[in-house]
Structure 1
Amino acid sequence: MPEIACAGPDAQSLLAWVAAVKQGLTPSQGIVTLRLDQMRLEDLVLSLLDLDIEEAAQVDSLADSASPFERCPERFHETLQKAIWQSPLCKLFARTHDGEYHRSLCPAAYNERTGEHHAEEMARWRADFRAMPPEQQMMAATIVWMYRSGPDSIWLRRVPCTWKASEALHYMHDTGCLALWLQLIARYPGW
C-alpha cells in the first residue's frame, strides 16, 4: 500500500494495520503494532477526526464500500444511520429538533434545547451500553467521541471504553463491523 506523505503516524498505523489484515496477514510487530498497542481506541479516534481528504479517501477505500466516497454531511449521515441500525444502537441515540443530517441526532438522555442531561435516562443509557457486546460499545463510543469532537465524560462515564486500539480493531474486524467503523471515520465532516 502506498503511503501518503502527509498522513500522521496514527493514520499511517491504521492504514497499514487494515491493509495487512485485509491481505490475511498478521500486522507485523514493529512501529504499526506497537503504536496501536500503546494507545486506546479513544485516542485513535480523536487523532483521526482531522484527517485530510486524501487520508480519509484512503481509509474509506479500505472499507470496500459500495457507495462512492464523499466527505460531506449527507454521506456521513447515511453512514451514521447505517451504523446505528446495523449495530443496533437505537436505544442510545435520539433525534433532535434542530439541525440537518447528522446534526439532527445526539446521544439520548439529553435535551439539546436546554443542554440538560436527565439523570434517570442517563442511568438507563449507561445500563443499556454496559449490556451491549463490545463491538456495539466500540461503535457507540466512537459516535459519542465524534459528537463531542473530543473526549467525553458525560455519557461514557462509568462504562467500559478503555480498549487498546489494537484489540478494538481486531475485535471489530472479527465481528464484521470494522468496515462500517472505517466509513464513519473517513466520512466524518465534523459535528
Structure 2
Amino acid sequence: MQRETARQRAERVLDELSLTARNGHIEIIDFKEAESCYVHHSRRAVALTGYACVSPVMARGRFPRYTFIDMIQGMPAMDGGEAWALAAICGATIPESYSDWPQAFGERVWRVVQKYDLDAFFERVTRPFGSGGDHYHLRPRGFDWESPDRTELPDVLARWRSEYRKSPPVRQVMTATVLQLYRQGEDKHWMVRVPKGWHASEGIEILQAADALEDWGGLCATYAGW
C-alpha cells in the first residue's frame, strides 16, 4: 500500500473539516457540516483559521471561547498533516520533510522579527539554548540571558510592555505568536496588563488585513519545539 504523502494528509484533514484550500483560495464546502463536524483539539487551529478566512462570524460561533493565545499554545499538538493543512490555508510553502522544519522555523522566526519590527521585544543571544535551528539564539528581552542566573531586568520588561501597548494590532499579534511559541505556558513577565484577549478569529482577521497570514502560517506550521 502506497504511503500517504504530507500533502495528501493535509487534503484529508481539510476535507474532514469541510474545507478546501487551493491556489490561495479557501472555501467552506458545506456550512452545516463545518458547524457540526467533530474537531479534535489538535485540529482546532486549522479549523478556526480556515473558517475565519471565509466567515469570521461562523468561526466565532463554532469556537466561542477560543482565544488567539489558546490557538498558539495548541500549535505543538498538530501532527504533520495538520501543520501542512494550516500552511495550505495560509498560502505558505513549507518543507516536505519534518526533519527540515527546525531549520525552516529558525529562519522564519528571524524574518518575522525583522519584517514586523520586533527587535524591541526579542534579541539574539550569543549562546544558543538548544540546537537544530537559529531560533535557539532568540530570547525575549527582559532578562540577562548571558548571566548564569538569567537575572530579571524590571526596567527592560517595563519598556517591553510599554512598546507592546502602543504597537499596531498586527505587531502585537506577531509578538504574541512568537512569545507564546517560545513560552508555551503561563506568562508572568511579558504580556501582563497588555492587549492579548483577542478571539482567535479576530487574530486571523488582523493578520489578513495586514497581509501577514502567509508569514504567520508558515511560522506556526513549521514549529518543531523550542
| Same topology, TM > 0.5 | yes
**Amino acid in the other structure paired with 2:224:** P
Asked if 1 retains the 8 angstrom alpha-carbon contact of 2:73 and 2:180, the reply is yes
What SS class does the counterpart of residue 94 from structure 1 fall into? strand
Q: Which residue in the other structure is 1:130 paired with?
A: 165
* C-alpha distance after superposition, 1:11-68 (max 9, x if no partner): 544434444565xx42573xx4324432211111111222111111211222223553
Query: Are residues 1:142 and 2:155 paired?
Result: no
* Structure (1 or 2) with the larger CA radius of gyration: 2
CA 1:122/1:150 → structure 2, altered by over 3 Å: closer, same or farther? Answer: same
Alignment RMSD, CA only? Answer: 2.3
Instruction: Determine if contact 1:13/1:33 at 8 Å carries over to the other structure.
Output: no
Residue 110 (structure 2) aligned to one of 68, 81, 88: 81
**Gapped runs of 5+ residues in structure 2?**
1-13, 18-37
Does residue 1:45 correspond to 2:69, yes or no?
A: no
In 2, Cα distance between the equivalents of 1:28 and 1:11? Answer: 22
Listed as ranges, the gaps of 5+ residues in structure 1 are none
Instruction: Give, in whole Å, the separation in 2 of the partners of 1:124 and 1:51.
Output: 34
The equivalences for 1:36-185 within 5 A come to 36-66=63-93, 68-71=95-98, 72-99=101-128, 100=131, 101-112=134-145, 113=147, 114-185=149-220
Counterpart code for 1:188: Y
Q: Decide whether aligned partners of structure 1 residues 35 and 69 sit closer, same or farther in structure 2, where only a CA change above 3 A counts.
A: farther
Give the Cα separation in 1 of the matches to 2:158 and 2:57. 42
Q: CA distance change for structure 1 residues 160 and 20 in 2, over 3 Å: closer, same or farther?
A: closer
4+ residue segments displaced more than 3 Å: 7-14, 16-22, 66-71
Structure 1-normalised TM-score?
Answer: 0.85
Return the alpha-carbon distance in structure 2 between the equivalents of residues 85 and 70 of structure 1. Answer: 26
- What TM-score does the superposition give when structure 2 sets the normalisation length? 0.73
Rate the CA distance shift 1:69–1:180 in 2: closer, same or farther, 3 A: farther
